[in-house]
Amino acid sequence: MMNKISKPQVEAELRKFVGADVYVHSEATSFVFVRNFKVNVTEALIAGEGRYRAALRFDGHGWLRMEELTHYEVDGRGRLLLAGYDDRGRMNVALHLGREPFPE
Amino acid sequence: MNEANLEPKLKLLAVFAHPDDESFICGGTFAKYGREGVDMTLVSATRGEMGRRMGNPPYLNRETIAAARELELQEACKHLGIGTLQFMDIRDKTVEFIDEETLTSRVESLIREIDPDVVLTFHEKFGGHPDHCAIGKATTAAFRRSASRGALYFITFGEAMKRPERYGYTRQDVVKIDVGAHLEAKLAAFRAHRCQTEIDEWVWLPDREALAHFGRHEYFLKGNTEAPQRSQHDLF
């Protein structure tokens, strides 16, 4: 079940990935997705109200930024699954972080 | 006990790209042949795990959608009388990037194993989605390589092939199936694909109103025109 983003909770969950090698699924639905990019996260940030922006700094010189995030879930495997839906349940964006590769 | 049971059953193999292709595009035809006792196998290249509709309000995400759509497809198959369901385990939206020969060989072995009377797939150019065209192209090549008998048909959308001339085809190229008696099963299959159809209010109206949204016919394009002329109203 996807929960509406609570900024303090998601911020705390993001922080757990800082300093670690992280596998990323990042997606702007219909246009692009990447799955299992592996990066070393140096900063993980969230900003905004209601519809949120998240950003990762990685590998000492990289950025990944996504906006329009609305929901999240920390699943049974400790993966942080962020997604942005429209008002009718269609997904626009996704940002998933995990310590193991996501199933291909 | 019944001699009819000893006759070899007619067999249909459908090779599609995503869960819901079978219900949304030609569910009435599956329901019809299912009820007539045709042995039907559906192969879905992907689990539709890159779909955009996540329930309304949303309850799925990228990591949970594959399992949900697999269950939905299993349920839809029950409503349509599809006895066997297989997945090719290709990631949604990547079918066109799979090595063509590999894909064709996989479908070819399925056709040889099942030995179907009818193969259904997408038209390689008019399929709509890149995954549809790619699986259609591979299945067409596989059919031509392997089928010693039987017929190939391309599934088509809605009533587009009511006037085939617009697409460079003639009436002789089209099979028109009357599915009027099987729309309840088609509606049940639509509803089985819950996360895909929750957004469509009409699907969830009272049955009578929802059923009014379906056309009475489904249309198929002949894929092997060299096959002997068949009825214009039956795939077999």
The ipTM of this complex is: 0.90
Angle between helices B183-192 and B65-80 (to 10 degrees): 170
pLDDT classification of B89: cutoffs 50, 70, 90 = very high
Contact A90 B63 (CB under 8 A): no
pLDDT digits (tens, 9 = 90+) for A13-46: 999 999 999 999 999 998 999 999 999 999 999 9
pLDDT digits (tens, 9 = 90+) for B176-227: 999 999 999 999 999 999 999 999 999 999 999 999 999 999 999 999 877 7
Q: How far apart are CA B6 and CA B171, in angstroms?
A: 36
Contact B58 A102 (CB under 8 A): no
Task: Please report residues of B whose CB lies closer than 8 A to that of A66.
Answer: none
Q: How far apart are CA B158 and CA B153, in angstroms?
A: 15
Do residues A67 and A61 make contact, with C-beta atoms less than 8 angstroms apart? no
Q: How far apart are CA B143 and CA B108, in angstroms?
A: 7
Task: Please report residues of B whose CB lies closer than 8 A to that of A104.
Answer: 91
How many beta-carbon pairs below 8 A join chains A and B?
58
Chain mean pLDDT for chain B: 94
Contact B63 A91 (CB under 8 A): no
Mean pLDDT for the stretch of residues B62-84: 98
- Alpha carbon of B110 to those of B14, B115, B144, B165, B221: distances in Å? 11, 8, 13, 33, 22
Contact A89 B58 (CB under 8 A): yes
Other beta carbons less than 10 A from residue A34's beta carbon: 10
The secondary structure element, H or E, covering residue B161 is: none
Residue B204 C-alpha, separation from nearest chain A C-alpha, in angstroms: 15
**Strands A71-74, A3-4: pairing kind:** antiparallel
Closest CB from A27, A73, A89 relative to B53: A89
User: Which pLDDT value is given to residue B229?
Assistant: 64
Which residue type is seen at B169? Y
Contact B54 A85 (CB under 8 A): yes
